[in-house]
Amino acid sequence: MNNKLYGNLIFELSQPGRKGYSLPKNRFGSYEIPAEMRREHEAELPECDEMTVVRHYTNLSANNFGVDNGFYPLGSCTMKYNPKINEEVAALPQFAGLHPLQPKETVQGAEAVCTLLCRSLCELTGLHAFTLKPFAGAHGELTGLMVIKKYHESRGDEARRLVIVPDSAHGTNPASAAVCGLDIIEVKSLSDGTVDVDALRELLTQHGSEVAAMMMTNPNTLGLFERQIPAIEQMVHEAGGLMYYDGANLNPMLGVCRPGDMGFDVMHINLHKTFSTPHGGGGPGAGPVGVRKGLEEFFPTVSPYHGNFAVVMRAYAYILSLGREHIKEVGPLATLNANYIKESLKDVYELPIEGLCKHEFVFDGLKDKSTGVTTMDVAKRLLDYGYHAPTIYFPLLFHESLMIEPTENESKETIDGFIQVMRQIAEEAKANPDEVKSAPHNTPIGRVDDVLAAKHPIVTFRQMKDER
Ligand SMILES: *Cc1c(COP(=O)(O)O)cnc(C)c1O
Protein backbone atom coordinates (compact mmCIF):
# COMPACT_ATOMS: atom_id res chain seq x y z
CA MET A 1 0.00 0.00 0.00
CA ASN A 2 1.12 3.54 -0.69
CA ASN A 3 1.00 5.54 2.52
CA LYS A 4 1.73 8.84 0.78
CA LEU A 5 -1.25 8.49 -1.49
CA TYR A 6 -3.72 7.62 1.25
CA GLY A 7 -2.22 9.59 4.13
CA ASN A 8 -1.52 8.47 7.67
CA LEU A 9 -4.50 10.17 9.23
CA ILE A 10 -7.94 10.84 7.83
CA PHE A 11 -7.48 14.48 8.96
CA GLU A 12 -4.54 14.87 6.60
CA LEU A 13 -6.76 13.91 3.67
CA SER A 14 -9.37 16.51 4.54
CA GLN A 15 -10.25 19.21 1.97
CA PRO A 16 -12.46 22.13 3.11
CA GLY A 17 -16.02 21.69 1.90
CA ARG A 18 -15.57 18.20 0.47
CA LYS A 19 -18.40 15.75 1.25
CA GLY A 20 -19.05 12.04 0.94
CA TYR A 21 -22.86 12.34 1.09
CA SER A 22 -25.77 14.30 -0.29
CA LEU A 23 -29.00 14.68 1.62
CA PRO A 24 -32.43 15.57 0.19
CA LYS A 25 -33.72 19.08 0.79
CA ASN A 26 -35.30 19.55 4.21
CA ARG A 27 -39.10 19.34 3.84
CA PHE A 28 -39.97 19.82 7.51
CA GLY A 29 -39.07 23.41 8.35
CA SER A 30 -36.34 24.26 10.82
CA TYR A 31 -35.95 23.61 14.50
CA GLU A 32 -33.80 25.88 16.59
CA ILE A 33 -31.56 24.08 19.11
CA PRO A 34 -31.54 26.21 22.30
CA ALA A 35 -28.45 28.40 22.43
CA GLU A 36 -27.12 26.91 25.66
CA MET A 37 -27.09 23.45 24.07
CA ARG A 38 -25.20 24.51 20.96
CA ARG A 39 -21.42 24.03 20.62
CA GLU A 40 -19.32 27.17 20.64
CA HIS A 41 -17.01 26.11 17.83
CA GLU A 42 -17.62 24.00 14.76
CA ALA A 43 -16.70 20.34 15.33
CA GLU A 44 -13.29 19.68 13.80
CA LEU A 45 -14.22 16.84 11.51
CA PRO A 46 -12.31 15.67 8.45
CA GLU A 47 -14.01 16.50 5.15
CA CYS A 48 -13.51 13.75 2.59
CA ASP A 49 -15.19 12.12 -0.38
CA GLU A 50 -16.51 8.56 -0.17
CA MET A 51 -13.66 6.79 -2.00
CA THR A 52 -11.00 8.49 0.10
CA VAL A 53 -12.72 7.33 3.28
CA VAL A 54 -13.23 3.77 2.05
CA ARG A 55 -9.65 3.43 0.76
CA HIS A 56 -8.14 5.01 3.86
CA TYR A 57 -9.83 2.60 6.29
CA THR A 58 -9.50 -0.45 4.04
CA ASN A 59 -5.76 0.15 3.71
CA LEU A 60 -5.41 0.75 7.44
CA SER A 61 -7.19 -2.53 8.20
CA ALA A 62 -4.79 -4.37 5.88
CA ASN A 63 -1.88 -3.22 8.07
CA ASN A 64 -3.17 -5.30 10.96
CA PHE A 65 -1.65 -8.68 11.61
CA GLY A 66 -3.99 -11.30 13.09
CA VAL A 67 -4.59 -15.04 13.25
CA ASP A 68 -6.45 -14.74 9.95
CA ASN A 69 -3.34 -13.33 8.23
CA GLY A 70 -0.71 -15.77 9.35
CA PHE A 71 0.88 -17.94 12.03
CA TYR A 72 0.65 -16.33 15.44
CA PRO A 73 2.85 -18.24 17.90
CA LEU A 74 2.35 -15.85 20.82
CA GLY A 75 2.74 -17.64 24.18
CA SER A 76 0.74 -17.23 27.41
CA CYS A 77 -1.83 -14.49 26.74
CA THR A 78 -2.26 -15.96 23.34
CA MET A 79 -4.73 -15.90 20.54
CA LYS A 80 -5.57 -19.58 20.37
CA TYR A 81 -7.93 -21.32 17.94
CA ASN A 82 -11.07 -19.25 17.24
CA PRO A 83 -13.34 -21.31 14.98
CA LYS A 84 -15.52 -19.15 12.76
CA ILE A 85 -18.69 -21.09 13.60
CA ASN A 86 -18.52 -19.69 17.14
CA GLU A 87 -18.82 -16.18 15.73
CA GLU A 88 -21.98 -17.16 13.89
CA VAL A 89 -23.46 -18.74 17.00
CA ALA A 90 -22.62 -15.70 19.17
CA ALA A 91 -24.18 -13.38 16.58
CA LEU A 92 -27.53 -15.22 16.34
CA PRO A 93 -30.07 -12.41 16.75
CA GLN A 94 -32.13 -14.53 19.18
CA PHE A 95 -29.19 -14.26 21.60
CA ALA A 96 -27.28 -11.14 20.50
CA GLY A 97 -30.49 -9.05 20.58
CA LEU A 98 -31.39 -9.79 24.20
CA HIS A 99 -31.53 -7.06 26.82
CA PRO A 100 -30.24 -7.87 30.32
CA LEU A 101 -33.39 -6.42 31.90
CA GLN A 102 -35.83 -8.51 29.85
CA PRO A 103 -38.34 -10.54 31.92
CA LYS A 104 -36.86 -13.86 32.97
CA GLU A 105 -39.47 -15.93 31.15
CA THR A 106 -38.37 -14.42 27.82
CA VAL A 107 -34.69 -15.33 28.21
CA GLN A 108 -34.89 -18.98 29.13
CA GLY A 109 -32.70 -20.01 26.18
CA ALA A 110 -29.89 -17.72 27.30
CA GLU A 111 -30.26 -18.91 30.90
CA ALA A 112 -29.99 -22.48 29.68
CA VAL A 113 -26.74 -21.71 27.81
CA CYS A 114 -25.26 -20.20 31.00
CA THR A 115 -26.34 -23.16 33.13
CA LEU A 116 -25.12 -25.72 30.60
CA LEU A 117 -21.77 -23.96 30.20
CA CYS A 118 -21.31 -23.93 34.00
CA ARG A 119 -22.12 -27.64 34.05
CA SER A 120 -19.55 -28.34 31.30
CA LEU A 121 -16.92 -26.30 33.13
CA CYS A 122 -17.63 -28.24 36.35
CA GLU A 123 -17.17 -31.49 34.47
CA LEU A 124 -13.96 -30.33 32.78
CA THR A 125 -12.40 -29.03 36.01
CA GLY A 126 -13.78 -31.36 38.68
CA LEU A 127 -15.14 -28.40 40.66
CA HIS A 128 -18.63 -28.01 42.09
CA ALA A 129 -19.97 -24.61 40.96
CA PHE A 130 -19.04 -21.76 38.58
CA THR A 131 -19.94 -18.09 38.34
CA LEU A 132 -19.78 -16.51 34.87
CA LYS A 133 -19.70 -12.92 36.11
CA PRO A 134 -16.00 -11.92 35.95
CA PHE A 135 -15.04 -10.03 32.77
CA ALA A 136 -11.39 -11.19 32.47
CA GLY A 137 -8.77 -13.51 33.90
CA ALA A 138 -7.51 -10.91 36.36
CA HIS A 139 -11.10 -10.13 37.37
CA GLY A 140 -11.58 -13.87 37.97
CA GLU A 141 -8.48 -13.99 40.17
CA LEU A 142 -9.84 -11.11 42.25
CA THR A 143 -13.24 -12.84 42.50
CA GLY A 144 -11.63 -16.14 43.54
CA LEU A 145 -9.46 -14.46 46.16
CA MET A 146 -12.54 -12.64 47.52
CA VAL A 147 -14.18 -16.08 47.94
CA ILE A 148 -11.09 -17.32 49.80
CA LYS A 149 -10.97 -14.23 52.03
CA LYS A 150 -14.67 -14.56 52.91
CA TYR A 151 -14.23 -18.27 53.62
CA HIS A 152 -11.49 -17.58 56.18
CA GLU A 153 -13.48 -14.70 57.69
CA SER A 154 -16.54 -16.95 58.03
CA ARG A 155 -14.43 -19.18 60.25
CA GLY A 156 -13.17 -16.27 62.33
CA ASP A 157 -9.72 -16.78 60.82
CA GLU A 158 -9.04 -13.14 59.82
CA ALA A 159 -5.29 -13.51 60.42
CA ARG A 160 -4.92 -15.29 57.09
CA ARG A 161 -3.77 -12.45 54.85
CA LEU A 162 -0.86 -13.96 52.92
CA VAL A 163 -0.99 -15.27 49.36
CA ILE A 164 1.91 -17.40 48.16
CA VAL A 165 2.77 -16.79 44.51
CA PRO A 166 5.55 -18.56 42.56
CA ASP A 167 8.18 -16.26 41.00
CA SER A 168 7.23 -17.54 37.54
CA ALA A 169 3.57 -16.44 37.91
CA HIS A 170 1.73 -14.12 35.56
CA GLY A 171 1.90 -10.55 36.88
CA THR A 172 -1.84 -10.44 37.46
CA ASN A 173 -1.53 -13.00 40.33
CA PRO A 174 0.27 -10.72 42.82
CA ALA A 175 -1.66 -7.71 41.48
CA SER A 176 -5.04 -9.37 42.17
CA ALA A 177 -3.95 -10.39 45.66
CA ALA A 178 -2.92 -6.79 46.37
CA VAL A 179 -6.22 -5.40 45.02
CA CYS A 180 -8.04 -7.87 47.30
CA GLY A 181 -6.17 -6.32 50.25
CA LEU A 182 -3.96 -9.37 50.82
CA ASP A 183 -0.17 -9.54 51.12
CA ILE A 184 2.06 -11.48 48.76
CA ILE A 185 5.01 -13.75 49.43
CA GLU A 186 6.97 -15.13 46.53
CA VAL A 187 8.17 -18.71 46.38
CA LYS A 188 11.22 -19.45 44.24
CA SER A 189 11.42 -21.81 41.30
CA LEU A 190 14.00 -24.58 40.96
CA SER A 191 16.42 -24.54 38.03
CA ASP A 192 14.01 -26.88 36.20
CA GLY A 193 11.38 -24.12 36.30
CA THR A 194 8.95 -25.74 38.77
CA VAL A 195 8.06 -24.63 42.30
CA ASP A 196 10.76 -25.27 44.91
CA VAL A 197 8.93 -27.48 47.41
CA ASP A 198 11.63 -27.09 50.09
CA ALA A 199 11.45 -23.31 49.86
CA LEU A 200 7.66 -23.57 50.15
CA ARG A 201 7.92 -25.82 53.24
CA GLU A 202 10.23 -23.24 54.81
CA LEU A 203 7.71 -20.44 54.09
CA LEU A 204 4.87 -22.47 55.58
CA THR A 205 6.88 -23.26 58.71
CA GLN A 206 7.37 -19.54 59.27
CA HIS A 207 4.01 -18.16 58.10
CA GLY A 208 1.62 -21.17 57.97
CA SER A 209 -1.06 -19.70 60.22
CA GLU A 210 -1.19 -16.48 58.15
CA VAL A 211 -1.51 -18.14 54.74
CA ALA A 212 -4.85 -17.55 53.01
CA ALA A 213 -3.98 -19.28 49.75
CA MET A 214 -1.35 -20.47 47.35
CA MET A 215 -1.82 -19.52 43.69
CA MET A 216 -0.47 -21.87 41.06
CA THR A 217 -0.46 -21.85 37.28
CA ASN A 218 -0.38 -25.25 35.63
CA PRO A 219 1.10 -25.82 33.13
CA ASN A 220 3.18 -23.01 34.59
CA THR A 221 4.34 -19.90 32.76
CA LEU A 222 7.27 -21.83 31.29
CA GLY A 223 4.84 -24.35 29.80
CA LEU A 224 5.87 -27.04 32.32
CA PHE A 225 3.59 -29.38 34.25
CA GLU A 226 4.04 -28.86 37.99
CA ARG A 227 4.70 -32.46 39.05
CA GLN A 228 4.83 -31.71 42.78
CA ILE A 229 1.21 -30.56 43.05
CA PRO A 230 0.16 -33.47 45.35
CA ALA A 231 2.89 -32.62 47.89
CA ILE A 232 2.26 -28.86 47.58
CA GLU A 233 -1.49 -29.23 47.96
CA GLN A 234 -1.08 -31.36 51.07
CA MET A 235 1.35 -28.93 52.73
CA VAL A 236 -0.78 -25.86 52.06
CA HIS A 237 -4.00 -27.53 53.21
CA GLU A 238 -2.33 -28.82 56.37
CA ALA A 239 -1.29 -25.25 57.11
CA GLY A 240 -4.96 -24.21 56.71
CA GLY A 241 -4.61 -22.37 53.37
CA LEU A 242 -6.62 -22.93 50.20
CA MET A 243 -5.28 -23.79 46.76
CA TYR A 244 -5.99 -21.42 43.84
CA TYR A 245 -5.51 -22.58 40.23
CA ASP A 246 -4.79 -20.02 37.50
CA GLY A 247 -6.48 -21.77 34.57
CA ALA A 248 -6.11 -18.91 32.07
CA ASN A 249 -4.58 -21.36 29.61
CA LEU A 250 -6.35 -24.60 30.41
CA ASN A 251 -6.29 -25.92 26.83
CA PRO A 252 -3.52 -28.53 27.30
CA MET A 253 -5.46 -30.06 30.23
CA LEU A 254 -8.92 -30.38 28.68
CA GLY A 255 -10.24 -33.88 29.16
CA VAL A 256 -6.78 -35.02 30.32
CA CYS A 257 -6.70 -34.00 33.99
CA ARG A 258 -8.70 -31.77 36.33
CA PRO A 259 -7.71 -29.14 38.91
CA GLY A 260 -10.48 -30.37 41.24
CA ASP A 261 -8.95 -33.86 41.28
CA MET A 262 -5.53 -32.34 42.07
CA GLY A 263 -6.89 -30.77 45.26
CA PHE A 264 -7.49 -27.20 44.12
CA ASP A 265 -10.33 -25.32 45.85
CA VAL A 266 -10.83 -22.28 43.60
CA MET A 267 -9.87 -21.49 40.01
CA HIS A 268 -10.56 -19.20 37.10
CA ILE A 269 -10.57 -19.98 33.40
CA ASN A 270 -10.04 -17.41 30.65
CA LEU A 271 -12.83 -18.29 28.25
CA HIS A 272 -11.23 -15.84 25.80
CA LYS A 273 -8.04 -17.90 25.72
CA THR A 274 -8.96 -21.50 26.41
CA PHE A 275 -12.43 -21.44 24.85
CA SER A 276 -11.95 -19.44 21.69
CA THR A 277 -12.93 -15.78 21.84
CA PRO A 278 -10.75 -13.46 19.72
CA HIS A 279 -9.48 -10.92 22.25
CA GLY A 280 -6.97 -8.65 20.58
CA GLY A 281 -6.43 -5.19 22.00
CA GLY A 282 -7.66 -6.07 25.48
CA GLY A 283 -11.11 -7.49 25.04
CA PRO A 284 -13.72 -8.90 25.15
CA GLY A 285 -13.14 -11.48 27.85
CA ALA A 286 -14.68 -13.64 30.52
CA GLY A 287 -12.99 -15.22 33.54
CA PRO A 288 -15.48 -17.62 35.17
CA VAL A 289 -14.57 -18.79 38.67
CA GLY A 290 -15.11 -22.33 39.89
CA VAL A 291 -15.11 -23.53 43.48
CA ARG A 292 -15.15 -26.72 45.51
CA LYS A 293 -18.45 -27.71 47.19
CA GLY A 294 -19.24 -25.48 50.16
CA LEU A 295 -17.48 -22.37 48.82
CA GLU A 296 -20.21 -21.28 46.38
CA GLU A 297 -22.02 -19.37 49.12
CA PHE A 298 -19.05 -16.95 49.17
CA PHE A 299 -19.34 -15.88 45.50
CA PRO A 300 -19.32 -12.06 45.57
CA THR A 301 -21.19 -9.79 43.18
CA VAL A 302 -18.44 -8.44 40.94
CA SER A 303 -20.35 -7.26 37.88
CA PRO A 304 -23.83 -6.21 36.90
CA TYR A 305 -26.05 -8.66 35.02
CA HIS A 306 -24.61 -11.96 33.78
CA GLY A 307 -21.01 -11.32 32.70
CA ASN A 308 -19.92 -11.24 29.07
CA PHE A 309 -22.63 -13.27 27.39
CA ALA A 310 -21.25 -13.33 23.82
CA VAL A 311 -18.02 -14.87 25.17
CA VAL A 312 -20.11 -17.45 27.02
CA MET A 313 -21.90 -18.31 23.75
CA ARG A 314 -18.60 -18.86 21.92
CA ALA A 315 -17.22 -21.01 24.72
CA TYR A 316 -20.30 -23.21 24.78
CA ALA A 317 -20.30 -23.55 20.97
CA TYR A 318 -16.61 -24.52 21.08
CA ILE A 319 -17.18 -27.18 23.74
CA LEU A 320 -20.21 -28.64 21.96
CA SER A 321 -18.55 -28.65 18.54
CA LEU A 322 -15.62 -30.67 19.92
CA GLY A 323 -17.69 -32.91 22.18
CA ARG A 324 -16.51 -35.18 24.96
CA GLU A 325 -14.29 -37.31 22.69
CA HIS A 326 -12.53 -34.65 20.64
CA ILE A 327 -11.91 -32.13 23.39
CA LYS A 328 -9.29 -34.59 24.65
CA GLU A 329 -7.28 -34.09 21.46
CA VAL A 330 -6.72 -30.35 21.96
CA GLY A 331 -4.02 -30.73 24.63
CA PRO A 332 -2.00 -33.56 23.08
CA LEU A 333 -1.95 -31.86 19.64
CA ALA A 334 -0.90 -28.47 21.05
CA THR A 335 1.75 -30.26 23.15
CA LEU A 336 3.03 -32.19 20.13
CA ASN A 337 3.30 -29.00 18.07
CA ALA A 338 5.18 -27.15 20.83
CA ASN A 339 7.64 -29.99 21.42
CA TYR A 340 8.20 -30.41 17.67
CA ILE A 341 9.21 -26.74 17.30
CA LYS A 342 11.34 -26.84 20.46
CA GLU A 343 13.29 -29.91 19.35
CA SER A 344 13.68 -28.61 15.78
CA LEU A 345 15.22 -25.32 16.87
CA LYS A 346 17.14 -26.04 20.06
CA ASP A 347 20.47 -26.40 18.21
CA VAL A 348 20.29 -22.72 17.16
CA TYR A 349 18.19 -21.15 19.96
CA GLU A 350 19.13 -21.42 23.64
CA LEU A 351 16.84 -23.85 25.49
CA PRO A 352 17.33 -23.09 29.19
CA ILE A 353 15.16 -25.96 30.43
CA GLU A 354 15.43 -29.34 28.73
CA GLY A 355 12.65 -31.91 28.67
CA LEU A 356 9.03 -32.20 27.63
CA CYS A 357 6.94 -29.06 27.64
CA LYS A 358 3.16 -28.73 27.39
CA HIS A 359 1.49 -26.30 24.97
CA GLU A 360 4.27 -23.68 25.06
CA PHE A 361 7.96 -23.27 25.89
CA VAL A 362 10.63 -20.60 26.29
CA PHE A 363 13.93 -20.06 24.47
CA ASP A 364 16.53 -17.70 25.95
CA GLY A 365 17.39 -15.97 22.68
CA LEU A 366 19.78 -17.19 19.99
CA LYS A 367 22.34 -19.79 21.03
CA ASP A 368 25.23 -17.85 19.48
CA LYS A 369 25.36 -14.71 21.62
CA SER A 370 28.47 -13.35 19.82
CA THR A 371 26.44 -11.88 16.94
CA GLY A 372 24.80 -9.24 19.17
CA VAL A 373 21.41 -10.12 17.68
CA THR A 374 18.78 -9.99 20.43
CA THR A 375 15.34 -11.52 20.92
CA MET A 376 13.85 -8.15 19.93
CA ASP A 377 15.74 -8.33 16.60
CA VAL A 378 14.51 -11.87 15.92
CA ALA A 379 10.92 -10.81 16.71
CA LYS A 380 11.15 -7.83 14.33
CA ARG A 381 12.72 -9.91 11.57
CA LEU A 382 9.90 -12.46 11.79
CA LEU A 383 7.49 -9.68 10.72
CA ASP A 384 9.39 -9.36 7.44
CA TYR A 385 8.66 -13.03 6.74
CA GLY A 386 4.94 -12.70 7.50
CA TYR A 387 4.91 -14.23 10.98
CA HIS A 388 3.62 -12.66 14.17
CA ALA A 389 6.34 -12.53 16.81
CA PRO A 390 6.24 -14.91 19.79
CA THR A 391 5.87 -13.39 23.27
CA ILE A 392 9.19 -11.71 24.05
CA TYR A 393 11.00 -10.75 27.27
CA PHE A 394 8.41 -12.69 29.29
CA PRO A 395 8.68 -14.62 31.56
CA LEU A 396 11.23 -12.53 33.40
CA LEU A 397 13.23 -15.57 34.54
CA PHE A 398 15.55 -15.26 31.51
CA HIS A 399 17.16 -12.22 29.86
CA GLU A 400 16.18 -12.99 26.27
CA SER A 401 12.88 -14.89 26.68
CA LEU A 402 11.20 -15.95 23.46
CA MET A 403 7.99 -17.73 24.39
CA ILE A 404 6.43 -19.82 21.64
CA GLU A 405 2.96 -21.37 21.54
CA PRO A 406 1.63 -23.07 18.42
CA THR A 407 -2.01 -24.04 18.87
CA GLU A 408 -3.51 -27.46 18.16
CA ASN A 409 -5.09 -26.44 14.85
CA GLU A 410 -1.87 -25.51 12.99
CA SER A 411 -0.84 -27.83 10.16
CA LYS A 412 2.58 -29.48 9.95
CA GLU A 413 3.32 -27.42 6.81
CA THR A 414 2.65 -24.15 8.65
CA ILE A 415 4.84 -25.20 11.55
CA ASP A 416 7.64 -26.40 9.25
CA GLY A 417 7.49 -23.01 7.49
CA PHE A 418 7.96 -21.24 10.82
CA ILE A 419 10.85 -23.52 11.81
CA GLN A 420 12.55 -22.86 8.49
CA VAL A 421 12.25 -19.08 8.90
CA MET A 422 13.51 -19.21 12.50
CA ARG A 423 16.58 -21.16 11.27
CA GLN A 424 17.09 -18.71 8.45
CA ILE A 425 17.06 -15.78 10.89
CA ALA A 426 19.67 -17.60 13.02
CA GLU A 427 21.86 -17.92 9.91
CA GLU A 428 21.33 -14.27 8.96
CA ALA A 429 22.33 -13.28 12.49
CA LYS A 430 25.75 -14.79 11.79
CA ALA A 431 26.21 -13.81 8.16
CA ASN A 432 24.60 -10.39 8.15
CA PRO A 433 23.66 -9.26 11.67
CA ASP A 434 22.86 -5.70 10.59
CA GLU A 435 20.08 -6.96 8.33
CA VAL A 436 18.41 -8.52 11.37
CA LYS A 437 19.18 -5.67 13.76
CA SER A 438 17.56 -3.12 11.45
CA ALA A 439 14.44 -5.23 10.75
CA PRO A 440 11.59 -4.98 9.95
CA HIS A 441 12.16 -3.80 6.39
CA ASN A 442 8.81 -4.76 4.80
CA THR A 443 6.28 -3.21 7.20
CA PRO A 444 4.70 0.26 6.81
CA ILE A 445 6.58 1.43 9.91
CA GLY A 446 10.03 0.24 10.96
CA ARG A 447 11.14 0.25 14.57
CA VAL A 448 9.36 2.61 16.87
CA ASP A 449 11.17 4.14 19.80
CA ASP A 450 9.53 2.11 22.59
CA VAL A 451 10.88 4.30 25.38
CA LEU A 452 9.77 7.55 23.76
CA ALA A 453 6.38 6.05 22.92
CA ALA A 454 5.88 5.02 26.55
CA LYS A 455 7.23 8.21 28.14
CA HIS A 456 5.85 10.71 25.69
CA PRO A 457 2.85 9.22 23.93
CA ILE A 458 1.17 11.31 21.23
CA VAL A 459 -2.42 10.20 21.32
CA THR A 460 -4.43 12.94 19.63
CA PHE A 461 -4.34 14.60 16.24
CA ARG A 462 -3.99 18.03 17.84
CA GLN A 463 -0.90 16.90 19.76
CA MET A 464 0.55 15.55 16.54
CA LYS A 465 -0.07 18.87 14.76
CA ASP A 466 1.55 20.76 17.63
CA GLU A 467 4.57 18.45 17.54
CA ARG A 468 5.26 19.21 13.89
C1 LIG B 1 -3.77 -13.98 30.49
C2 LIG B 1 -3.44 -14.51 31.81
C3 LIG B 1 -3.99 -13.96 32.97
C4 LIG B 1 -4.85 -12.70 32.97
O5 LIG B 1 -5.99 -12.78 32.18
P6 LIG B 1 -6.67 -11.42 31.60
O7 LIG B 1 -7.92 -11.89 30.94
O8 LIG B 1 -5.67 -10.82 30.66
O9 LIG B 1 -6.96 -10.53 32.76
C10 LIG B 1 -3.70 -14.56 34.17
N11 LIG B 1 -2.88 -15.62 34.25
C12 LIG B 1 -2.32 -16.18 33.15
C13 LIG B 1 -1.44 -17.38 33.31
C14 LIG B 1 -2.57 -15.65 31.90
O15 LIG B 1 -2.00 -16.19 30.81
Query: In this model, does residue 47 exceed pLDDT 90?
Result: yes
Indicate which atom in ligand 1 lies nearest the CA of residue 249. 15
Contact yes or no for 252/335 (Cβ under 8 A): yes
Quickly state the pLDDT bin for 67 (edges 50, 70, 90). Answer: confident
On whether the pTM is more than 0.75, the answer is: yes
Query: In this model, does residue 468 exceed pLDDT 70?
Result: no
Kindly report which listed range (212-226, 242-256, 453-467) carries the lowest average pLDDT score.
453-467
The predicted structure's pLDDT at residue 68 = 85
The predicted structure's pLDDT at residue 1 = 43
Indicate which atom in ligand 1 lies nearest the CA of residue 76. 15
Pocket of ligand 1 (CB under 6 A): 76-77, 136-138, 170, 172, 217, 246, 248-249, 270, 285, 287
The predicted structure's pLDDT at residue 465 = 72
Q: Which of the listed residues 78, 251, 270 should we mutate to test ligand 1's pocket, taking the one with most ligand atoms within 8 A of CB?
A: 270
**Mean pLDDT, the chain, whole residue set:** 92
| Residue (of 301, 351, 355) closest to 139 by Cα position | 301
Q: Distance, CA 424 to ligand 1 centroid (Å)?
A: 32
Tell me the per-residue pLDDT of 371-408, one tens digit each, with 9 for 90 and over.
Answer: 999 999 999 999 999 999 999 998 888 999 999 999 89
DSSP sequence for 399-416: TTEEEE---TT--HHHHH
Contact yes or no for 290/274 (Cβ under 8 A): no
Q: Distance, CA 143 to ligand 1 centroid (Å)?
A: 14
Q: Distance, CA 75 to ligand 1 centroid (Å)?
A: 11
Q: What residues contact residue 210 under an 8 Å CB cut-off, 6+ apart?
A: 159, 160, 161, 162
Considering only CA atoms, which residue is closest to atom 14 of ligand 1? 248
Indicate which atom in ligand 1 lies nearest the CA of residue 169. 13
Q: For residue 392, which phi and psi values (nearest 5 degrees)? A: -120, 150
When pLDDT is averaged across residues 57-85 and rounded to a whole number, the result is 84
User: Considering the chain, what percentage of its residues have pLDDT values greater than 90?
Assistant: 76
Considering only CA atoms, which residue is closest to atom 1 of ligand 1? 77
